Amino acid sequence: MKWNNNLTRIFDIEYPIVQAPMFGVTTPEMVAAAARAGALGSLSLGDLPAEKCLELIRTTKRLSDKPFAVNIFVNPLPEDTEELRLQYLETKEFLKTISDKNQIEVDYPDYEDIKLTDYHDQVNAIIAENCKIVSFTFGVLDPASIALFKSNGTVLIGTATSIEEALVLEKTGIDIVCVQGYEAGGHRGSFIEGKIPEIGGISLLSQVYDHVNVPLIYAGGIYDAKTLLAAQLLGAQGFQVGSLLLGSVESALQEFEKRILNNASEKDIVLTKSFSGRYARGLQNTFTNTLDNSRYILPYPYQNKITGPLRATAKIQQNPDFVSIWAGQSKSSYSTASTTDIILNLVEKTENYNR
């Protein structure tokens, strides 16, 4: 296996393996541990306010002097309408009924108390910290932000779940496309309106490779040497791993969540909008079964904000029926080793494959 390629040179790393930016799971410690393995760590900033972004970036820098990426959500925000306000109130009442029934005391926020992040504030914070690798999902950066990043010498990585989305990213001047297969865990990175693309990684990656000229990172189902080498054969220069790291020492998941993951079977893994209002792949439970296909799912990020306190309280109570646990279709043993060792083990097995 020859690891050196365009991406190892662009990122200044040893192996073109990317630790996935898993919001709610990734920690600065995980990013630093991935960097120690010679991979590219990714700090997930999601839709956090700029002040929190600065804090996390600075913490990561104290833990590692190696390159790492930061990841943000660039989705458009829903229009504030009377219809949305009414739907929010109805959803709040429904959620209160559920939590009361299950003896979970939750203080759900009022509509007026919801604070949404404009990603432009994050852009300014990222540039202020001179972060040179930025990935994003749920949309496309606006031209002014792209120009601002480019003037700062920043490498930009966009997420695509279809050929059409990959072409849009390339046309807007994005340097690298992360191709997310349907089997990937967590939120779908889809951003073109309409039904979310249901394209498996093998079909999607090979077709995107035939249609765009920028380097590709592949995300979705990479958990061993065979899957990594398959992605390479289909045109990927980078290999993003997420679910493989869920059980790691540096994962933010609690021990009860890691146990649930290990005990889950493939039939337990579903796509759901119940927790956030966007499709995400993870474990089904009482909450997903109750909310999915109901009328009590607000558009993202309002659903994500209103269910946040319920998930936080359920996590404190170690109640698996009301927490969101994301995972991809390629179920692994979820090693409890360090992120460093998990990645280096993947490297070793890839190098030894067919030797």
Residue 351 belongs to a domain with what CATH number?
Answer: 3.20.20.70
- The verdict on residue 312 lying in a domain is yes
d(CA 246, CA 258): 7
97 and 159 in a single domain? The answer is no
Task: State the pLDDT at residue 43.
Answer: 98
Task: State the pLDDT at residue 355.
Answer: 67
204 and 123 in a single domain? The answer is yes
181 and 85 in a single domain? The answer is no
- The verdict on residue 305 lying in a domain is yes
- The verdict on residue 6 lying in a domain is yes
CA angle in degrees (0–180, nearest 5) for 245-283-22:
35
Which residue shows structure tokens 């790691």?
Answer: 248
Q: Annotate 133-199 with DSSP letters as a single string.
A: EEEEESS---HHHHHHHHHTT-EEEEEESSHHHHHHHHHTT-SEEEEE-TT-SEE----SSSSPP--
- The verdict on residue 140 lying in a domain is yes
99 and 183 in a single domain? The answer is no
106 and 131 in a single domain? The answer is no
pLDDT of the chain, 355 residues: tens digit per residue: 789 999 999 999 999 999 999 999 999 999 999 999 999 999 999 999 999 999 999 999 999 999 999 999 999 999 999 999 999 999 999 999 999 999 999 999 999 999 999 999 999 999 999 999 999 999 999 999 999 999 999 999 999 999 999 999 999 999 999 999 999 999 999 999 888 888 999 999 999 999 999 999 999 999 999 999 999 999 999 999 999 999 999 999 999 999 999 999 989 999 999 999 999 999 999 999 999 989 999 999 999 999 999 999 999 999 999 999 999 998 778 999 999 999 999 999 999 996 6
Contact 95, 297 (CB under 8 A): no
- The verdict on residue 329 lying in a domain is no
156 and 284 in a single domain? The answer is no
238 and 99 in a single domain? The answer is no
Contact 108, 96 (CB under 8 A): yes
195 and 290 in a single domain? The answer is no
Q: Which domain holds residue 308?
A: 78-115+254-324
- The verdict on residue 162 lying in a domain is yes
121 and 222 in a single domain? The answer is yes
- The verdict on residue 302 lying in a domain is yes
239 and 311 in a single domain? The answer is no
172 and 45 in a single domain? The answer is yes
111 and 49 in a single domain? The answer is no
- The verdict on residue 33 lying in a domain is yes
Task: State the pLDDT at residue 354.
Answer: 67
The domain tally of the chain equals: 2
